[in-house]
């Protein structure tokens, strides 16, 4: 089943076209990465798909629901872990999870079951009673993703999930993201070439609002005639500028 589909999705701000006729489809359970230099249109695309910004023209569909006509239904199907971790720093890890369970109206038994499940998944046992504001960036990011998963979304948007993390924290978070593959459709935005290459089923490269390439990492390397994914990215993006 197709989890996400866009049809000529376009966003203009006056004379600026931030996203230009984007058409793509993403399968259910796929991990799809969006890459591009600053201003490529990644963030605007995500804002439209998460119903934070209405398209100028075209449409997008999340599990068959239109982002322009079925906004509330779309919002019930998705979750977002933003670049800036949306955790309540004065609350403990447990209290953050309990708060989000309360927002979704979980009864006590379901709340306790869901928290226990996510604590195991994210390996939060050792810091469950610590204040979120006292945690490292890596732990805060784990908590942020756990909070996003509480609603049991069918589509999860991860915006720069490892930005600013050290190499160990990044590797540990990669393992967690891999564990989610196949269980939920994931849209990942990142500036780390090695991250996209290591985690993604397919990768879309954008420039100036247009989708240049949509393929596997191996397919993109082959297209650019190089063994380096980073070099392939540079070749494709620079080639589009000519």
Query: Would you state the structure tokens that stand for residue 38, as one six-digit string?
Result: 């600053």
Residue 211 β-bridge partners: 206
Tell me the domains of the chain and their CATH numbers: 2-88+155-241 (3.40.50.300)
Which 8-state DSSP code applies to residue 91? S
pLDDT at position 38, please?
Answer: 86
Least confident of 98-102, 106-110, 164-168, 202-206: 164-168
| The pLDDT of residue 41 is above 70 | yes
pLDDT at position 241, please?
Answer: 59
Residue linked to tokens 């996209």: 196
pLDDT in tens, 186-219: 999 988 899 999 999 999 999 999 999 999 999 9
Q: Does residue 239 or residue 62 have the better pLDDT?
A: 62
pLDDT at position 68, please?
Answer: 97
pLDDT at position 198, please?
Answer: 94
| The pLDDT of residue 242 is above 60 | no
CA distance 81 to 118: 15
CA distance 41 to 36: 8
Q: What is the mean pLDDT of residues 61-85?
A: 93
Q: What is the mean pLDDT of residues 162-166?
A: 86
What mean pLDDT, rounded, does the chain reach? 93
pLDDT at position 83, please?
Answer: 73
- 118 alpha carbon, distance to own chain's centre: 18
Distance set, CA 221 to CA 21, 41, 185, 228 (Å): 25, 22, 24, 7
| The pLDDT of residue 85 is above 80 | no
pLDDT at position 239, please?
Answer: 84
pLDDT in tens, 111-154: 999 999 999 999 999 999 999 999 998 899 999 999 999 999 99
CA distance 212 to 46: 17
pLDDT in tens, 1-39: 899 999 999 999 999 999 999 999 999 999 999 999 888
């Amino acid at each position: 089943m197709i989890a996400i589909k866009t049809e000529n999705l376009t966003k203009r701000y006056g004379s600026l076209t931030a996203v230009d006729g984007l058409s793509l489809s993403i399968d259910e359970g796929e991990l799809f990465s969006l890459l591009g230099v600053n201003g490529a249109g990644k963030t605007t695309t995500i804002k439209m798909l998460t119903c934070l910004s209405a398209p100028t023209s075209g449409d997008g569909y999340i599990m068959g629901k239109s982002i322009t006509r079925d906004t509330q239904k779309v919002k019930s199907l998705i979750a977002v872990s933003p670049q800036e971790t949306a955790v309540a720093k004065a609350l403990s890890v447990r209290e953050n999870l309990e708060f989000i369970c309360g927002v979704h109206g979980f009864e006590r038994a379901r709340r306790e079951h869901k928290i226990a499940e996510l604590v195991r998944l994210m390996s939060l046992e050792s810091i469950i009673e610590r204040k979120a504001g006292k945690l490292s960036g890596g732990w805060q990011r784990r908590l942020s993703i756990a909070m996003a998963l509480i609603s049991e979304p069918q589509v999860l948007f991860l915006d720069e999930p490892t930005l600013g993390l050290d190499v160990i924290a990044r590797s540990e978070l990669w393992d967690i993201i891999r564990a989610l593959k196949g269980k939920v459709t994931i849209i990942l935005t990142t500036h780390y070439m090695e991250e996209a290459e290591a985690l993604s089923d397919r990768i879309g490269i954008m420039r100036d609002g247009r989708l240049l390439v949509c393929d596997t990492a191996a397919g993109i390397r082959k297209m650019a005639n190089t063994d380096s994914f980073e070099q392939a990215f540079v070749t494709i993006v620079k080639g589009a500028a000519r």
